[in-house]
Chains A and B, each alone.
Chain A
Amino acid sequence: MTETSAKTVPAAATGALGRINPIKLLLKGRAFFALVAIIIVFSLLSPNYFTVSNFLIMSSHVAIYGILAIGMLLVILNGGIDLSVGSILALCGVVAGALMQGVVLEPLGVILFPPVWAVVVLTCVLGALIGAVNGVLIAWFKVPAFVTTLGVMYVARGIALLLTNGLTYNNLAGRPELGNTGFDWLGFNRLFGVPISVIVLAVIALLAGLILSRSSFGRWLYASGGNERAAELSGVPVNFVKITVYTISGALSAVAGLVLSSQLTSAGPTAGTTYELTAIAAVVIGGAALTGGRGTVRGTMLGAFVIGFLSDGLVIIGVSSYWQTVFTGAVIVLAVLMNTIQYGVRRAR
């Protein structure tokens, strides 16, 4: 380092120490403080809120939003948006439901009952494929992300409705003699007392966090979201990055669809309606910039927990679901407001 900078570093350090700015601290850790505040308020309002079992139940609800939100985070970091996640979730849910009922192979006259692991794999591949369609349209054909994923949102929902004729698959348990039981494992089982869905979320979040902070792909993603032209000229394969993030988002929607239908032991074509908005909200509350290039998995997880714990808390203290909607909306606006304050302050030169 040069001499000048060596001299300026201590000055900067004391400057920062001299005024630990409480407002700045609040802004930086806002999602965390919001979560703490929510927990404290609801614990005071209801004796049932602050219990281990309630936290685990709430967390298993958060898992769905959380998984979607991680996919959404990747897309938003890239400077895009994915409105199709709720519909992909539903389509993948009903496809899994249909597979569990057995696949009729007309010419052979047999009904195939794929084992649960095969159902899971096939569903995830389907989600990834739909995501890849989004990615290809956006990266190669330059259709704006908003429009592409809006279209796919309708198409996927429509196909889910067509497949089921608007009905819901209620029997997903499988039959022991066919060897396809175990679908409810995802939604109901626990490992060391922790719901499997929460563990799935934790594993995905950890992986995503590692990829973002420590892999070259993560660096490519942040760069192409921050300035695509500069990233491209620095040798970043920007189209590959783009297609990959939408593919991952699609695959994670499928995972969320599996978890949800397993939790509900039913798969309906209208599942997950408006979940894309919840996922976007979680990402935004977590401090990511919708313009791309800024955001972390940790923030997004906090955002998902803020939304989940808030809405479950409102249910527990018996507030009507209409009010829940109002509260959620207010939290989102507040979060974006703080985003602009934080980034605005930093950008002003």
Chain B
Amino acid sequence: MSGAQGQQEIRSDVVLAARNIAKSYSGIQALKGVNFDIRRGQVTTLFGENGAGKSTLMKILSGVVQPTSGEILLDGKPIVFSSTTDARNHGISIIHQELSLAPNLSVRDNIFMGREIIGPMGVDFAEEERQVRELLKELEEDIDPLTPVEELRLGQQQIVEIARALSVDSRILIMDEPTSALSAAEVEVLFRVIRDLTARGVSIVYISHHLEEALQITDHAVVLRDGSMTASAPRSEIDLAWVVRNMVGENYELGSPPSGYDFGPVVLSVRNLVVPDPAGGGYNVVDHMSLDVRAGEIVCIYGLMGAGRTELLETIAGRLAATSGEIVLDGKEVSHLSIGERIARGLALVPEDRQRDGLVQTMSVGQNLSLASIMEFTRGIFTSLKLERALIDKSIRDVTVKTDGPDAAIGSLSGGNQQKVVIGKMLATDPKVILLDEPSRGIDIGAKAEVFRILAARAVAGQAVVYTTSELNECLSIAHRIIIMRRGRIAAEFGSDVAKEDIMAASGEAEAA
């Protein structure tokens, strides 16, 4: 880094550079004069808390939004990207944090959307399909190119999104949280693909809240904090503690299982639950599963993607119907009740896909937060604005949503803060049993620690907590009991003192990786 010689070398290495980029959204400064370099054939990782401005910076570099001030240099020459197509023509493509696929179209059509291969007889579907198969093979994913995207699980949709970005031969590939819904094995494959790309001279920008995972692939780390760059260093000079220190200023612990109290009676009891594949695959995604959870207990359900965790939770919450089995809440069978009635009885689900299942984009932050508790602030037939406001303010404080206020549009929040809104919405119903499907998806370590602290406090107060995760660290934090799901069944059950290797072996991850 020192010496004129070194400086010169780094310069020539930089393919795309942001100089003094600032961006404000109606008075809010998302970026305050950021300098950011993308180096040829390297993985530059961008770290930062929720709302630090990472996605905003990437959207500027890929032409999605225009900066308020500052300039972008491509190969040392100033350039303005008027649109994503413009940026793509200059060899820059982006994988967005929030999926941008057309759910009704097939995998093939999504990947070639807007860039169809035209043959003599119109669109050459056969050639497109061949290329898609090749891409998916490279990503080691067994998906038929003709499946409609809406029938894929979230992780597979993310793979399709990645495949789409890969299908464009770009020089610079921006990945904004590409792995938030991927399993460990899928992440391994992605990393192999990234290494292939960098070996061919492609430059990568990588964003992730899975810090350890991200460090494996990083060549150069950059930290953003509150819209400014706070640190930047090559991989060889840094470690996890450095990242955390620069991101949040202190070290965070995900916590340990709360203790010093006795569990109450069993509040949730699942007996012999069978759920057929909702996509009509002809097999059972949940296969004769039984599970008891006591008041005050925290249970982590770990498993690979496709193990049936989401389906299990959705069935308990009432979104999917079981073909047989019982779901008993507080001693009463609830299988016949609607989702709303189950919520009223104290059973709440925080869904995995916040865009599709969690948020109402046309409503404000406040209205989203109060959506599941409308009856709490309804007096007679009318809602009480005062009670609602109190409930919203409490939720914003409880889950520390970073927002301009309850009337802000939900789309103006950063991804992690949107996730906190979904969690806050269900916690506001004051449930007896709270189910969370990948609650840490897209939230930074500070927020993750906060969410786990909130959940632990809820457990101490007598609520039962069940959450799923695909990250071992998150399982080995506050959970009293760890359940490993595999192909719709419980493969193993451990206490909180289990070794990582045992979990991996039981989930089938050891074989897969």
Which chain A residues have a beta carbon within 8 Å of chain B's beta carbons?
1-2, 4-5, 8-9, 11-16, 210, 214-216, 219-220, 222-223, 225-227, 229-237, 289, 292-294, 346-349
Contact = CB atoms under 8 A, between A and B. Distances in A.
B411 A347 contact: yes
A223 B27 contact: no
Contact of B317 (A16, A210, A231, A233): A233
A235 B359 CA distance: 13
B363 A229 contact: no
B403 interface: yes
Interface of B: 24, 26-28, 59, 64-65, 317, 319, 338-344, 349, 351, 356-363, 367, 371-372, 374-375, 378, 381-383, 393, 396-397, 400, 402-405, 409, 411-412, 425-426, 429
A234 B372 contact: yes
Contact of A219 (B28, B362, B374, B404): B374
Given A227-B360, A227-B361, A233-B339, A215 B27 contact: no
B65 A349 contact: yes
Contacts of B403: 5
Contacts of B381: 215-216
Contacts of A236: 340, 371
Contact of A225 (B319, B342, B362): B362
Contacts of A235: 338-344, 372, 429
A20 to B, nearest CB: 13
A229 B362 contact: no
B359 A227 contact: yes
B404 A293 contact: no
A230 B359 contact: yes
B362 A232 contact: no
Nearest to B401: A2
A236 B338 CA distance: 10
**Most-contacted residue by chain A among B339, B343, B351 (CB, 10 A):** B339
A348 B84 CA distance: 13
Contact of A233 (B64, B349, B400): B349
A229 B425 contact: no
Contact of B362 (A11, A214, A226): A226
A54 to B, nearest CB: 38
A214 B380 CA distance: 11
Given A222-B363, A230-B358, A215 B382 contact: yes
Contact of A16 (B26, B59, B409, B429): B26
Contacts of A289: 362
Nearest to B410: A226
Contacts of A222: 360, 362-363, 367
A231 B357 CA distance: 8
B405 A230 contact: no
